[in-house]
Amino acid sequence: MKKALVITAVVVGIFLALQVRSFKKVESLLQRSDSKGVLYELNTIRVANSELKEEIASQEKQLQEAQSKMASQTIEEELKRLNLASGESPIHGEGIEIKVSNIIQAFWVLDLIAQLVSAGAEAVALNDVRLVESTAGLREIGTTGFVMDKNLLKAPLKISVIGPMAELKRSVSPAGGILDRIKNNHQGIVVEVTEKKDITIPALPTLYLAK
Amino acid sequence: MVGSSAQAELDIQKSLLSSFSAEQEDLKTQLSAVNEKLSNVKETIKNRSSSATIRKIDHLKALTQLKNMKGEGLRITLSDNPTVSRANFSAINENFIQASDLRDLVNALYLKNATAISINQKRISPLTPIQPVFDSILLGNFQVSPPFVIEAIGIPEALISAASNLQQRQIHMYLEKINSLEIAAAEGQKTIKYASLLNPKE
């Protein structure tokens, strides 16, 4: 009888532990999910389609120009476009600056960046290190800071974003949005968002420009 | 009565979603076509330039994901748990692949020095937003659904460890080391409206 009770208790204990683990996994998924509603999601696809239409129109315009302009002018414009995106040169423009006082898990920063890029961010830098393919990969190291490729980024983390400042700020600020969720999951953290008419993102050091 | 009204609303939402998705398929075809024409014209003009200019453009294209990349690497195929269906709109469930799983995986692959990454044949950059929409995922502006095939160029043994976190989830994962992987260039370049060069003569 006693043996049966012990076995039952062990089985129930394992079952409960599994339930708690499973609950924690789902809880962690929910913490990172923005409950935006069906209309918001429909609008997201509508906006994606509008942006695709803009992209098609822009490429058609480039095609027409490339066929009608002098080759040297086309090359010059192509070099300028590529330079802007590559990280080889310093760039500037309007945008927002977000300061995060403490070190948080890297996935929160990735979620924040994804939200900003969806809202039109054109360039992003963390503590002045521009985020491009060669610098990508972010992980936290305890409470010391983040490692972003070969760079140690110490707190406070400064996220510089070039893009439409009002939209960028609006995209991260709603109640229940990404900044709220970061604050709700980190007691005592201070997150400041500032709109700026001119933000500069420095060029990358040459070690990141070999490919 | 309330039930039938809710059903009608759901039907409208589903019909809008399917018309947006159909429109997107058409837009993807148009974009591919114009992108191919533009690339050919630019390539012809570039090849008439000096060899220094050609080298410069090729170098910048490699930095901006506009060049095909080849090398050894890893192919990761992720599928939802086959015992459940994501047919309904809400898919926050550990049996489904979430947008955040793909975001974390891309970050982990970069941490293991992946030099190029694609998801369902779409080239990814660190600034490609990956976000959930209904029961699918938006990669940039492209709607994609599972299974997700993630390809990464780099040292396969190192890249395998990037996928280890996903092994704790109730989803299916299949890993293949590939000796010769080719990841296509991104289709076109995002239009830049707000950023400009600090020293325009550079």
> Per-block average pLDDT, block size 10, for chain B (202 residues)?
68 80 87 88 84 89 92 95 69 78 95 96 93 85 91 96 82 94 87 88 56
A45 contacts B25 by C-beta, under 8 angstroms? no
Which H or E run contains B39? helix B2-47
Q: Which of A52, A82, A124 minimises the CB distance to B61?
A: A82
Q: Which of A67, A137, A138 sits opposite B41 (nearest CB)?
A: A67
Helix ranges, B94-147 (H):
99-111
A56 to chain B: which residues are within 8 Å by CB?
27, 30-31, 34
CA B131 vs CA A41, A176, B103, B140, B143: distances in Å: 10, 16, 9, 8, 10
What are the sequence ranges of the domains in chain A? 91-204
- Inter-chain touch A89–B197, beta carbons under 8 Å: yes
Of A29, A89, A113, the CB nearest to B199: A89
Distance CA B27, CA B33 (A): 10
Q: What is the pLDDT of residue B95?
A: 81
pLDDT digits (tens, 9 = 90+) for A87-119: 999 999 999 999 999 999 999 999 999 999 989
Contacts of A178 in chain B (CB under 8 A): none
Distance, CA of A131 to chain centre: 10
Instruction: Look up residue A7 and give its two tokens.
Output: 């076995």
CB contact under 8 A, B115 and A59: no
Distance from CA of A8 to the nearest CA of B (A): 27
Q: Note down pLDDT in tens along chain A; length 211 residues.
A: 677 777 777 776 665 555 555 545 555 555 666 556 667 777 778 888 888 898 899 889 888 888 877 777 888 888 898 999 999 999 999 999 999 999 999 999 999 999 999 899 999 999 999 999 999 999 999 888 999 988 899 999 999 999 999 999 999 998 888 999 999 999 999 999 999 999 999 999 877 776 5
Give the global pTM. Answer: 0.83
CATH T-level fold of B69-183: Alpha-Beta Plaits (3.30.70)
Q: Determine the Cα angle at B39 with ends A56 and A80, to 5°.
A: 85
Measured between CB atoms, does B37 come within 8 Å of chain A? yes
Nearest to B127 by CA among A151, A122, A59: A122
B162-198 as b/e, with b when 16 or more CB fall inside 10 Å? bbeebeebebbbeeeeeeebebebbbbbbebebbebe
Q: What is the ipTM of this complex?
A: 0.82
Q: Could you give the CA distance from residue A115 to residue A137 in angstroms, rounded to a whole number? A: 17
Which CATH superfamily hosts domain A91-204? Protein of unknown function DUF881 (3.30.70.1880)
Q: Of B117, B106, B101, B111, which is closest to residue A141 (Cα–Cα)?
A: B111
**CA–CA gap between residue B121 and residue B115 (Å, rounded):** 15
Cα A151 to chain centroid, rounded: 18
Per-residue pLDDT at B89: 47
